[in-house]
């Protein structure tokens, strides 16, 4: 194993670097939402520190229903074992120590390992759920690549690097070409398959009318009154027909609605077609760093306003809302229980409760729960035992998921699953895949939802789903030709 590092020219906006690989199958960008502040010409510090981009995995894992297809060096293995176990077994074969950046500024967050998505419906591998909701988009339940190189952009240090643990034999051969690719002037490095336009060709429609949403809402309230559950997240699905290059939509999305856990993925649907994932997520699901575990559940939402006084009023209303604080606390307790499955006794603690965090379109209440992994447990173990995230299911989790399947017309697919990485060094960072769109077979689709509790108001909950959808619905207006 030979660690490879090559420093690159730093740019505040990482999109130009990613464009060199954006149209390759299995290309992925984990995006911290950093954009240039027009007043200063520098990247802001509101969101994350690192952007990470990869392509050319040397192993892929694709799960559909009960089967996971593992492809490596042209060889294909199909397994019906637990997909989390399969991923853990592969990562156990490729381990590497944490390593520093090729410049001052700490250790690399990722220099190779697993990256991809775990769809919400992967939970059917873990729990017995009904089959009332029908699939809306036929994408796999899990798509993970094992990558031996990455480009890491450090916005705090304002440095960028191409890095690799050198665990795959081909990486050394490809290294000069990779250096040349990322050293080249930005516009000269575009890959084949790019398009110069993206268009939304039909109006956006929902799979739930307002009366249908209210009917589902009433059923949840009845379940809560009967003591069947305490909170259920109810979502609606929006969709429209589109044409062209989804990367152009993502570039506009990150420009007008930056968030700390964004992502873009170009993934193969079959040998002839790709689909794209565009995530504008504000929520961290799970992070592990040197066996320290952290989750940041979001519960509680108010819209933003262009009027400064009204915007401040919305934020104060959220901070003092007894209902929203109770809703947040329910999920914090659920996550404490989930983390306790893989964390050491007494290590699970609530670091912060009900912190206000403001984004381009909404205010949120965010809490922070931490723990420390038990000896012998790994990042994959904690991900499996907490999956899917409690903030987007409800309490008790299993009963909430059963009710979701009963009342939502379509399966959620990727929505409310997780996107992120698990490095060869054992560290992990994943988001909750909310505010996340999928473009597949010329259909753009995304979901928004909210937690319903005993004192929820149906009209307000419905309006909240529209507030959460506003970043994606606003983006489509830039590309609508109607």
- Specify the CATH number for the domain of residue 197: 3.60.120.10
- The pLDDT of residue 66 is above 70: yes
CB atoms within 10 A of CB 166: 18
The model's pTM is: 0.93
Q: Is the dihedral of CA 304, 202, 259, 121 positive or negative?
A: positive
- pLDDT confidence of 37, banded at 50, 70, 90? very low
pLDDT in the model for residue 39 = 40
pLDDT grade for 175, boundaries at 50, 70 and 90: very high
Distance CA 150, CA 166 (A): 11
What integer best gives the mean pLDDT of the chain?
A: 91
Mean pLDDT of 443-455: 94
- Digit-coded pLDDT (tens) for 104-118: 667 889 999 999 999
pLDDT at 417: 97
Residue that wins the pLDDT comparison between 108 and 374: 374
Q: At 1, is the pLDDT very low, low, confident or very high (cuts 50, 70, 90)?
A: low
Q: Which of 19, 283, 327, 408 is catalytic?
A: 283
Predicted confidence (pLDDT) at residue 58 exceeds the cutoff of 70: yes
Exactly one of 299, 372, 377, 468 is catalytic; which is it?
299
Confidence of residue 482 (pLDDT cuts 50, 70, 90): low
Q: Is the pLDDT of residue 42 over 50?
A: no
* Torsion-angle region of 218 (φ positive above 0: left; ψ -120 to 50: alpha; else: beta): alpha
Instruction: Provide mean pLDDT across the span 224-234.
Output: 96
pLDDT in tens, 389-441: 988 999 999 999 999 999 999 999 999 999 999 999 999 999 999 999 999 99
Supply the pLDDT for residue 107.
81
pLDDT of 195 reads 55
Range of the domain at 75: 4-478
**Average pLDDT for 296-303:** 88
> Considering its fold, how many domains does the chain have in total?
1
Does position 158 have pLDDT exceeding 60, yes or no? yes
Active site residue 299: yes
């Amino acid at each position: 194993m030979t660690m490879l590092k090559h420093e690159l020219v730093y740019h505040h906006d990482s999109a130009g670097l990613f464009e060199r690989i954006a149209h390759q199958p299995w290309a992925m960008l984990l995006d911290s939402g950093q954009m240039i502040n027009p007043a200063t010409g520098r990247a802001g510090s509101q969101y994350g520190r690192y952007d990470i981009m990869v392509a050319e995995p040397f192993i892929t894992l694709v799960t559909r229903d009960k089967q996971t297809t593992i492809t490596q060096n042209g060889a294909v293995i199909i397994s019906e074992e637990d997909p989390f176990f399969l991923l853990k077994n592969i990562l156990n074969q490729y381990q590497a120590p944490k390593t520093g950046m090729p410049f001052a500024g700490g250790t690399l967050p990722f220099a190779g390992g697993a990256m991809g998505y775990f769809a919400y419906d992967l939970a059917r591998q873990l729990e017995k759920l009904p089959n009332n909701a029908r699939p809306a988009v036929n994408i796999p339940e899990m798509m993970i690549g094992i990558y031996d190189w990455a480009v890491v952009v450090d916005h705090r240090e304002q440095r960028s690097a191409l890095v690799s643990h050198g665990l795959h034999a081909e990486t050394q051969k490809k290294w000069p070409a990779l250096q040349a690719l990322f050293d080249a002037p930005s516009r000269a490095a575009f890959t084949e398959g790019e398009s110069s336009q993206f268009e939304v060709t039909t109006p956006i429609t929902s799979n739930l009318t307002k009366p249908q949403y209210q009917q589902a809402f009433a059923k949840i309230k009845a379940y809560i009154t009967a003591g069947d559950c305490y909170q259920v997240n109810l979502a609606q699905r929006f969709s429209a027909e589109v044409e062209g290059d989804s990367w152009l939509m993502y570039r506009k999305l990150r420009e007008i609605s930056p968030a700390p856990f964004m992502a873009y993925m170009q993934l193969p649907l079959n040998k002839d077609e790709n689909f794209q994932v565009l995530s504008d997520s504000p929520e961290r699901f799970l992070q592990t760093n040197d066996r320290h575990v952290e989750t940041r559940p979001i519960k509680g939402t108010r819209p933003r306003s262009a009027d400064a006084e009204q915007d401040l009023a919305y934020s104060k209303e959220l901070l003092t809302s007894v209902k929203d604080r109770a809703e947040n606390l329910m999920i914090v307790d659920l996550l404490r229980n989930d983390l306790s499955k893989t964390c050491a006794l007494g290590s699970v603690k609530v670091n912060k409760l009900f912190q206000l965090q403001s984004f381009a379109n909404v205010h949120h209440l965010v809490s922070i729960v931490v723990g420390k992994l038990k000896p012998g447990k790994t990042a994959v173990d904690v991900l499996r035992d907490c999956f899917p995230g409690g903030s987007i299911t409800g309490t008790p989790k299993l009963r909430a998921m059963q009710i979701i399947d009963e009342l939502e017309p379509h399966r959620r697919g990727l929505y409310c699953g997780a996107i992120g990485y698990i490095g060869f060094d054992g560290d992990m960072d994943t988001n909750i895949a909310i505010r996340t769109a999928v473009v597949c077979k010329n259909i753009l689709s995304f979901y928004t939802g909210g937690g319903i509790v005993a004192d929820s108001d149906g009209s307000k909950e419905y309006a909240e789903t529209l507030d959460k959808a506003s970043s994606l619905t606003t983006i489509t207006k830039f590309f609508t030709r109607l």
